Amino acid sequence: MSRNIIVFDLETKNAFDDVGGRDNFAALKISVLGCYLYSTNEYKVFEEKELPEFENILQKKPLLVGFNSKRFDTAVLQPYIRFDLKQIPQLDIMEELQKFLGHRVSLESVAQATLGRSKTGSGMDAIRFWRNGEIEKLKAYCLEDVRITKEIFEYGAKHGELFYTPKFGSAKGRAPVNWKLSHPDENEEPKKQQSLF
């Protein structure tokens, strides 16, 4: 069954230090956006100039799944989109974990403890790839983060829990999670396609 779910992640051209602080999301500018589309079972990556294609996909009101995506990714993406992204259902894995733990955890921490694997770099690496014109490396890095986020999302849906490595101590921490591999509207009758703008 094809599901109307997208796992996504984006990279920026600038860091917060370059744009005068943590409130200036629009000035960060997107270099690439990577995603996995459950509806077509494919990974895609969009450069900044191709973001109107991603906006078209968002017209179908998918469930957007990310990691720290509500605070960061959708805030950076919003200036490129002609409708309010709050109209689209979202699952922010980090936010769900924070509700239980009372503090934030990193994607790296959850990937290591839950999947036994690490990210291939950091956001600063992505900015360096962009500035050096290493676009294929940048795309590969972004899509690897999408893969990790997708696997964490699926693990949580299957097992009802995720693990993380605490800052202090060596034992893995555990956090229960409660989501399914489905769109919130999946049990409703499909509605006629309506434009969001």
Question: Cα(67)–Cα(90) distance, rounded to whole angstroms?
Answer: 10
Q: For residues 41 and 44, what is the distance between their CA atoms, to the nearest angstrom?
A: 10
- 189 band by pLDDT with thresholds 50, 70 and 90: very low
pLDDT one-digit tens code per residue, 16-70? 877 776 777 888 999 999 999 999 999 999 999 999 999 999 999 999 999 999 9
pLDDT computed for residue 194 by the predictor: 56
Residue 170, pLDDT > 90, answer: no
pLDDT of amino acid 169? 67
At 181, the amino acid letter reads L
List the chain domain ranges: 5-176
Contacts of 33 (CB under 8 A, 6+ apart): 8, 9, 10, 11, 45, 46, 51, 54, 77, 142
Checking if the pLDDT of 182 tops 80, the result is yes
What dotted CATH number matches 5-176? 3.30.420.10
For the record, the structure tokens of 133 come out as 């014109």
